Chain A
Amino acid sequence: MAEDAGMLLELYNRMVTVRTFETVAGEYFAAGEIPGFIHLSIGQEASSVGVCSCLQADDYVITTHRGHGHMIAKGADLKRMTAELFGRKTGYCKGKGGSMHIADFSIGILGANGVVAGGLPIIAGAGFSIKMRKTDQVAVCFFGDGAANRGTVHEVMNLASVWKLPIIFALENNQWASTTPLEVSCAVEDISCRAAGYNMPGVVVDGNDLIAVRKATLEAVERARSGKGPTLIENKTYRIRGHFEGDPQKYRAQAEITPWQEKNDPIKRMYDYLVTDGILDEKMNLKIWDDAAAALEEAISYAKDSPFPEPEEALEDLFVNP
């Protein structure tokens, strides 16, 4: 499959934007300017950008507590995202959600979910609704290796398969469920083998290879759109940062992390690919990073210049008809 050079460059750009957003968010969190918790997906950008690059504008995505990449990859506005992380009135959720509960329904993002695996039952509803309304949309749910062990996942995968719902289960196996490594929490190494029990395809993908992620996702999307049902894609990747920013990470050694950073960074790998193919040169690369930094700087200014919500606004938005 020959991928279009301009499109690949654009996707590289988007991975750089995700990385820059999260790096900058991490800095502002460390400086105490972002309240609460943030969970970064640094090192997993090929999965978020790769999967979302295969979707139409009206396709649905549900993301997780580690969801900044999925939001940006689906087209979320950096300013409104940043403002939400800063708890401002101009944020996506008017400061009611924060990093863990962010959404943009206007671009099909049905929300990040703070409950591990919380999005999976909901994606079944999005898929069912597509079927009832007879549109050609698909619905993607991102979740992690930790979420894969929730009982609801079993209910949803069985239901999605028996009803042939247009769903892509995008599992990001980053090897760590909070502080618990895969080998002590999971009876299998390849979680995607569980798909066999639901009579749907389960695919293991090099999740740090953008082109491999796209190839698997395009097949799953095609299958979903043509009414053949769901696919479980397991993007093997690695969580470079702690579970949350500020996590002391006493449970793992830097020696485990370093090879992923040095030899398996999805952005570096894509850079090498694009340079080898003559699509990207160093001058262009610097401009991509500079532009991303400038966009983030603008988003941060927007957030910091935005007002906090009035305390009483906490009482709004509960019901449509109170």
Chain B
Amino acid sequence: MTERILSASAALSEALHEEMKRDETVFILGEDLTAHAGLFGQFKGLPENFPDRIIDTPISEAAIVGVGVGSALTGMRPIVDLHFSDFVTCCMDELVNQAAKIRYMFGGQVKMPLVVWCPDGAGIRAAAQHSQSLEAWFVHVPGLKVVVPSEPADVKGLIKSAVRDDDPVMFFQNKNLFSRQGPVQKEEYLIPLGKAAVKRQGKDVTLICYGSGYYLCLEAAKILAGQNIDAEIVDLRTLKPLDMDTVISSIKKTRRAVTVHEACLTGGFGAELCALIQEELFDLLKAPVKRVAARDVPMPFSPAMEDFCMPKVADVVEAARSAVSWTASR
């Protein structure tokens, strides 16, 4: 096995090159794709190598996702680029009432191999309408799969599985992580949907995260180690289907858990995790499960305010410490 260091963007582009070469029904559709190889340069090389299969559209999100749905129903494997994940609101009918429902309401007559690629997240001073993390909305819709990768290697392995999947996949990739680098295996590989990864072994507390939350946990675990707290990191990678087995076996070991995500707190995926954890492990838990998340306001523009609202490494450290000290105080 050979590893190279790639950015998340490069990993995405490499994966899509491989998939588009492998299967000529795969194409990418969205706004402003060819001029700069995607708004964030995330599709580098694809416009040159697949000029007929990376397609610029008018600013018409409902029609764009409609093209995805209709072409998925008729033999293609579309990848729809939503420009900013915030714009899911402009095509909610197509995502929620159509893509998610068509296979089911027609009694399983068809498959819906559609990937909706959504750059999400805050921290780039883009303010309220370009900074959201909306994955929990889609977890709540039966019929959609939800993938939120963190490291470049995850991006590559998961997007390849998403493209090959016969069901609709919402793929959220954090804008702040596009330039993050990490080792990516040179040989072809897939990461199955619905498989979490234990990315750091630890015995005192389980940090459950996905997307940008992973990097907060990674930094927090280093700090916690200096305070004699040994944190285990479970990167969910896929929220639906959810690998609860990995979460449960980790917490059975640590008996404490903290959920970490960049989305705002109330009604976030952390709440779902808390519910599932207490249902399975109530008697075993040594402390209430803590949630780390963004503040419940639209993301403000001014840097100091945005930084204040986003979840930080210190928040994860504090939540983990309080989970551990809760045990001590009982």
Contact = CB atoms under 8 A, between A and B. Distances in A.
Contact of B60 (A92, A104, A159): A159
Contacts of A93: 105-107, 109
A317 B63 contact: no
A125 interface: yes
A188 interface: no
Contacts of B93: 115, 118, 121, 152
Interface stretch (A14-22, A127-135, A278-286): A127-135
Interface stretch (A45-53, A95-103, A176-184, A236-244): A95-103
B103 interface: yes
B62 A151 contact: yes
A293 interface: no
A121 B66 contact: yes
A5 interface: no
B74 A126 contact: yes
B75 A133 contact: yes
B66 A152 contact: yes
Contacts of B165: 320-321
B127 interface: no
B109 A320 contact: no
B102 interface: yes
A316 to B, nearest CB: 7
B72 to A, nearest CB: 7
Contacts, number: 148
B74 A156 contact: no
Given A60-B74, A127-B70, A152-B62, A318 B143 contact: yes
B57 interface: yes
B51 interface: no
Nearest to A314: B104
Instruction: Name the residue among A115, A118, A129 with the largest chain B CB count within 10 angstroms.
Output: A129
B27 interface: yes
Contacts of B57: 159
Interface string B50-69: 00000001101111011111
A124 interface: yes
A129 B61 CA distance: 18
A316 B57 CA distance: 36
A91 B94 CA distance: 25
Interface in B57-114: 57-58, 60-63, 65-76, 78, 93-94, 97-98, 101-111
B58 A321 contact: no
Interface of B: 25, 27, 57-58, 60-63, 65-76, 78, 93-94, 97-98, 101-111, 142-143, 145, 165-167, 193, 241
22 contacts: A94-B108, A96-B106, A97-B107, A111-B102, A121-B62, A124-B66, A125-B70, A126-B70, A129-B76, A130-B74, A151-B62, A155-B60, A155-B61, A159-B60, A316-B108, A318-B142, A319-B103, A319-B167, A320-B103, A320-B111, A320-B166, A321-B166
